[in-house]
Amino acid sequence: MQNLRWRIIFPVVYGLIIYTSIRLVNDIISDTRFWLRPWQVNAAEICMSILACYVMEAVLLRLLEKNQQRYKPPISNRALVKEFAGVALWIELVCTAIIMPVAALTDDGLQWYDVVNIYLIPLLYWLLYYAFARGNAATRKSYEQQLQIEKISNDQLQAELRFLKAQYHPHFLFNALNTVYFQMDEDVGRAKQTIEELSELLRYQLYDQQQTVTVRQELQYLQSYIRLQKSRMNEHLSLDVRFDDALDGQQLYPLLLLPLVENAFKYAGGRYWIRIEARLEQDRLHFHVSNAKPDITVQRKAGGIGLEHLKRRLALLYPGKHTLTIQDKGQSFLADLVIEEVGDKK
């Protein structure tokens, strides 16, 4: 609506400006005063000038649309000159068809300075208009292209996150079912309880991994997972779990901490201890996991799905706002994850 109103008002204003400019220059040359002329003559010339502006605007906007399709960026200087030369030709044709006959039928007819002014002044005004319209159209098109690129990039990001999620769940499920498998030979009742705990864990994994949850929910999930793993581990395992009470309603993307804990249980050996710690420091989540390594080097299977997917998810969800450090200390294995800006509560 606002654009339509502007399209109606602008030619009137621009026509008055162009008409006034032509008349003032003519008056200086001919030593006359156009406001002393009969008002009917001025009114007729003003109406024709405004009509010319409506026609001119429609023609130039149509030319702009065609030129945008014809001349693709980057535009060479030669193509630019050709484009503006074509625009100038159309401006002069409109001036010849509409304004020139009016000048020939008023006052003392068509004089040389009338011809010069009618061809030159509207040309300058309308070339300026076209240049502004062209620049505005180019800016708008560039902005639309940028939005399209961002949309495509975001769609690719969401697709990759969904792909990682689809691959990660089977990886976790395989390890959990392996736990139940060993329990079936020892205690069926215990295995049933483990399956119930597993169902709770899987229910949590139904959360959209592109939406945040509270850190409290994530840590509760880890506690359930730790209980599930501990139920099948050797009773000699020394397990130390410390979660900061300050970690509560802060926001975090789900299932980012599990791969580190999962690896600790999977590869614990030697002195058989695991240390898990989560704390909050200046709106940063510090998550530390370490475990003793077996006396005999365990050959890890190729792929490293858990850690590799964790690194990729962190890169997608917390670009430039996380640090993941993994160290092999010989007799122990350490992993430290720091995630920034988890301090806001909802």
Query: Domains of the chain: which residue ranges?
Result: 2-149, 186-339
Which burial class, exposed, middle or buried, applies to 40 when counting CB atoms under 10 A from its CB (0-12, 13-18, 19+)?
Answer: exposed
Does 304 have pLDDT greater than 70?
no
Q: Where are the alpha helices (DSSP H) in 185-247?
A: 188-204, 215-230
Q: Which two tokens stand for residue 137?
A: 């159209």
Give CA–CA dist 77/279, Å, rounded. 62
* Residue 303 banded pLDDT, cuts 50, 70, 90: very low
Range 282-292 average pLDDT = 92
Does 135 have pLDDT greater than 80?
yes
Beta strand pairing call for 273-281 and 238-243: parallel
CA 240 to the chain's CA centroid = 42
Superfamily of domain 186-339: Histidine kinase-like ATPase, C-terminal domain (3.30.565.10)
Give CA–CA dist 135/141, Å, rounded. 10
Range 306-319 average pLDDT = 83
pLDDT at 153: 66
